[in-house]
């Protein structure tokens, strides 16, 4: 028989059991967080991009914030400039980028910098498809960097595993990318995150406030800090301290003989073409800028191959009625490396494009007569 003072414990001490009513409350709260959390957060966390804003370098993997920036830019600007680190402006301050000089040429703020540092065409296509849905019915300048065709490695075609930038954004299952060897679970997780904003929002919180670490790992690194105290609701400001006025020659970079991948066999060119088709399907007026590539860095054989590649790219753009420009090569001293101009190079490039007839017609809505 049980002792009179013995207490009956219906459940073990290390379990938490909910009643039916408590389960209902828990489900309602979790569902509300899943569906509304990221929308409410957009009203709580201040986001007020200023002039010459570009996504901060350390937030290049924050696709939720990029989506938010896209929506903001589409509501404020006539034309969006998208591309890789060349558009973003890797070696220059935010007031020396291509979009800055576009605005200077136009005499008003009408071009937004939606470039992201470290992006390649395969990743850029995924970014615009899943996180750039707001880009609809706009004028879009998209830059293609031939750098991504300078080797099988850059073109993602090596059989050996290669850890490239932004693997979450490339096709996870089809078409197959030879150097992409992540496990099925990682690929599946990346695919799911694209369609459920809650997951990209939690990634945003981790990147901005917890040093890109999962909360349990962050608490281990900072055992005496309050996690709620880390959530300051303040986003990093746009970088403005990256200017480096040193040309590739002054830096001691030698000429190279790139092992080019021709367009017909290039994965990156294939992904870029798909991105153009996506933007046009969303009723955007698309203008393509090929380059600017530092042809001064090319050895003779590599230079000849590049001229053929440029010609093939131009042929495809013409046949598909896509407005484009292959700018004249900038003076050698205005390049920092194979594809990035210095500040004066961006200024010259913007001037070239504003004088281009196709640019005038597609972006400026001028006939050029």
Please state the rounded mean pLDDT for residues 38-65.
Answer: 86
Amino acid 29: pLDDT: 58
**What domains, with CATH codes, occur in the chain?**
51-362 (3.40.50.1110)
* Residue 255 or residue 216, greater confidence: 255
* Tens-digit pLDDT profile for residues 322-360: 999 999 999 999 999 999 999 999 999 999 999 999 999
- Quote the CA–CA distance of 131 and 99 in Å, as a whole number: 21
* Tens-digit pLDDT profile for residues 286-327: 999 999 999 999 999 999 999 999 999 999 999 999 999 999
Which among 125, 122, 97 has a CA at the least distance from the CA of 112?
Answer: 97
Amino acid 6: pLDDT: 55
Token pair recorded at residue 37: 């959390």
* Tens-digit pLDDT profile for residues 182-228: 999 999 999 998 988 888 888 888 998 888 888 888 888 888 888 88
Whether the per-residue pLDDT at 366 is higher than 90: the answer is no
Amino acid 11: pLDDT: 52
pTM of the prediction?
A: 0.88
* Cis-peptide, bond into residue 52, ω within 30° of zero: no
How many CB atoms within 10 Å of residue 242? 15
């Amino acid at each position: 028989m049980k002792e009179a003072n013995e207490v009956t414990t219906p459940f073990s001490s290390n379990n938490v059991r909910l009643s039916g009513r408590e389960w209902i409350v828990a489900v309602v709260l979790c569902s509300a967080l899943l569906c509304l959390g990221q929308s409410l957060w957009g009203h709580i966390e201040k986001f007020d991009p200023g002039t010459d804003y570009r996504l901060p370098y350390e937030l290049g993997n924050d696709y939720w914030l990029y989506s938010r920036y896209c929506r903001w830019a589409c509501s404020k600007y006539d034309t969006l400039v998208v591309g890789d680190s060349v558009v973003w402006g890797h070696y220059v301050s935010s007031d020396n980028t291509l979009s800055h000089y576009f605005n200077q040429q136009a005499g008003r703020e009408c071009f937004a910098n939606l470039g992201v540092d470290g992006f390649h065409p395969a990743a850029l296509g995924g970014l615009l498809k899943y996180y750039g849905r707001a880009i609809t019915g706009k004028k879009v300048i998209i830059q293609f960097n031939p750098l991504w065709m300078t080797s099988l490695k850059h073109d993602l075609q090596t059989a050996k595993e290669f850890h490239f930038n932004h693997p979450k954004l490339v096709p996870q299952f089809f078409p197959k990318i030879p150097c992409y060897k992540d496990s099925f679970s990682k690929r599946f997780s990346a695919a799911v995150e694209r369609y459920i904003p809650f997951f990209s929002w939690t990634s945003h919180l981790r990147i901005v406030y917890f040093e890109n670490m999962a909360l349990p790992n962050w608490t281990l690194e900072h055992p005496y800090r309050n996690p709620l105290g880390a959530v300051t609701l303040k986003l990093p400001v746009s970088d403005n301290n990256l200017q480096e006025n040193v040309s590739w020659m002054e830096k001691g970079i030698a000429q190279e003989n790139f092992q080019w991948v021709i367009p017909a066999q290039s994965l990156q060119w294939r992904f870029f073409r798909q991105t153009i088709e996506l933007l046009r399907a969303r009723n955007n007026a698309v203008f393509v800028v090929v380059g600017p590539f530092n042809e001064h860095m090319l050895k003779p054989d590599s230079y000849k191959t590049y001229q053929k590649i440029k010609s093939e790219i131009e042929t495809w753009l013409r046949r598909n009625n896509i407005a484009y420009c292959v700018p004249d090569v900038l003076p050698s001293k205005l390049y920092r490396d194979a594809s990035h101009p210095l500040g004066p190079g961006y200024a010259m490039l913007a001037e070239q494009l504003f004088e281009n007839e196709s640019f005038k017609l597609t972006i400026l809505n001028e006939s050029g007569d």
